[in-house]
Amino acid sequence: MRTIIFLSFLLFQFSTLQAQQVKAQVLEWGSKKPVPYANVIFGEHKGVVTNEEGFFSFTSEELPATLEISSLGYEAVELKPEEINNSIVYLKPASIELKEVFLSNKELSPREIVEMAKEKVADNYDFDLGQKRVFYRESDFSHIRKFDMKVEESTIPGIDQNLMDRIEAEMPKVTDSYKEVLADLYGNYDSQKVRIVKAANLYNPQNTQSLDQLTEHLETLFRQNLKERSFLKIRSGLLGVKVDEDELKEGFEDSDTDKKEKTPEEIAEKEAKIKKNLQEGTGKEIQSLLANMFWKEDIAFNLFEKIRKYEFDLQGILHLGQNTVYVINFEPKRRADFKGKIFIDAHDYGVHRIEYENVRPLSKFRLFGISAIDDIYRGKMFFMKDENGKYSLSYLERELGETVGIDRPLTIIEKNRHVPGRNKQNELDLELDMRFGQVEKCSWWSMRTGRLPVKNMKL
């Protein structure tokens, strides 16, 4: 984990050689815990947000005179760039009591405040084409909750319950991987192009050597016992598929090819393919994130589209930097799916923050012993005012999770019409009872913003 944090911090450092850098980590005074999503203001309508580990970084042709660093629940601090000692800034927790009295000539209910925020979207947010330097992270977590393979019958020597138990014992119960990208993002919320500056794939090392040996042993047993010109019938209940001789041979050849040492040309071709997939995959993921902004229609997080299905509770008024904001909790009133908190500006009704999570699975599927449940959908959206007085996206996070289950029989039958005797040569009958959980978390931080020149407005 320390390596991941260190590498993620390094990715913040790339910018133009002429620019000067300010970088640090924001920690809580006393506990020394990171303060995520803190606002770091370094100019009029200019700033960044700390990441999950409290790190921030920005570049500027001319260093600002002072930085203002603030976060909900902490005392704001102002300091000069050169006063950042050891690249660490400490924030002291503040005892903030929400004001019960807020002087205003507008007497609006919490629901009416949210409706005003919806009406003001077109006025408050910047929909013009622009350029952002963003840091993007994608985290994938897989968890095996149950993995049970019972051998009912096996005519293949060596493939028995003992082998399946050994495979189950060596199977990593939790795996995780990370993709981190520093990129330039051109466009707006509807259309984007991504240019990758730096990228890294980070994997949490797992001791899978024993498992790899077991799976190779399983493949060897199949090869040794399958006769020439055989084909396989794979059946699960009433469902079945045939794997003919050519497909079987091709599968074994692909496996052998993967194990062979690659030539320099093959290595270069593979690296080019990985780079292309990284570029395309990151672009599609960022496009998916921006396509689910809270004001969009026909999205899973439908708070603004179905306001009438939610209850709203005004928690109070507080100051977020120089802004006075309403803090409003929301939860389902009818068959809505989310609960959370929204921070709305008391002056222009711009949304500064939204934090949400689902209260029930968004979808369920179960058929013939196969089940899939979309049980996690949560996220955050943070905005800051830019130099044009518009709200610009500074931090975006979305976390999706599903649980997949398989409770079915599986039969593999080897058949061969070219061997004297009966066609059926070998048979393996298994009872599968498995359940897997997977969570994908995507987040990105805006590090530098700007409008595109008119001549470059077409994407």
The helix/strand/coil state of 427 is strand
Structure tokens at 192: 């984007």
Three-state secondary-structure class, residue 253: helix
What are the residues whose beta carbons fall under 8 Å from the beta carbon of 72, sequence distance 6 or more?
A: 318, 320
Asked if 362 and 399 count as a contact pair (C-beta separation under 8 A), the reply is no
Q: How many CB atoms lie within 10 A of CB 450?
A: 11
The Cα 217–Cα 7 span in angstroms is 37
What integer is the mean pLDDT of 117-130?
A: 90
Is the pLDDT at 12 greater than 70? The verdict is no
Range scoring the smallest mean pLDDT among 25-29, 115-119, 306-310, 318-322: 318-322
User: Residue 222 pLDDT > 80, yes or no?
Assistant: no
Q: Domains in the chain, ordered, with CATH? A: 2-96 (2.60.40.1120), 131-293+398-456 (no CATH)
- pLDDT at position 9 is 35
Q: What is the distance between the terminal CA atoms of the chain, rounded to a whole angstrom?
A: 38
What local confidence, expressed as pLDDT, does residue 104 receive? 53
Which residues is 351 bridged to in the sheet? 344
Cα pseudo-dihedral 446, 450, 454, 459, rounded to 10: -10
In this structure, the number of other CB atoms found within 10 A of the CB of residue 95 comes to 6
**Is residue 336 a contact partner of residue 358, using CB atoms and an 8 Å limit?**
no
| 20 confidence band (pLDDT: 50, 70, 90) | low
- Residue 405 has which token pair? 């289950």
Residue 13 vs residue 369, higher pLDDT: 369
To which H or E segment does residue 457 belong? none
Measured distance CA(210)–CA(163) in Å, rounded = 12
Token pair, residue 56, equals 């921030």
**For residue 231, what are its two tokens?**
């084909």
C-alpha triplet 376, 381, 385: angle, nearest 5°: 180
Written as one string, the DSSP assignment of 34-99 is B-TT-EEEEETTEEEE--TTSEEEEEESS--S-EEEE-TTB--EEE-GGG-GGGEEEE-B--PPPB
Please tell me whether residue 272 adopts helix, strand or coil conformation.
Answer: helix
Per-residue pLDDT, averaged over 168-190, amounts to: 86
Residue 419 predicted with pLDDT over 70: yes
Return the number of other C-beta atoms located less than 10 Å from residue 364's C-beta.
Answer: 12
Q: Do 74 and 12 contact (CB within 8 A), yes or no?
A: no
Q: Is 73 left (phi over 0), alpha (psi -120 to 50) or beta?
A: left
Rounded Cα gap, residues 288 and 140, in angstroms:
16
Task: Summarize pLDDT for 340-398 with one digit per residue, the tens.
Answer: 999 999 999 999 999 999 999 999 999 888 999 999 999 999 998 777 788 988 889 99
H or E segment at 33? none
Read off the pLDDT band of 18 (50, 70, 90).
Answer: very low
| pLDDT, tens digit (0-9, with 9 covering 90-100), for 92-101 | 876 544 444 4
Contact 31, 13 (CB under 8 A): no
CA 18/CA 7 separation, integer angstroms? 23
Q: Are 192 and 286 in contact (CB under 8 A)?
A: yes
If you ran DSSP here, which 8-state letter would residue 228 be given? T
Average per-residue pLDDT for the chain: 81
Q: Is the pLDDT reported for residue 152 higher than 90?
A: yes
> Token pair 């229609």 is at which residue?
297
DSSP-assigned beta bridge partners for residue 395: 445
> pLDDT at position 115, please?
95
Which of 79-93, 214-228, 401-415 has the largest mean confidence?
A: 401-415
Mean pLDDT of 241-249: 81
**Beta-bridge partner residues of 427:** 413
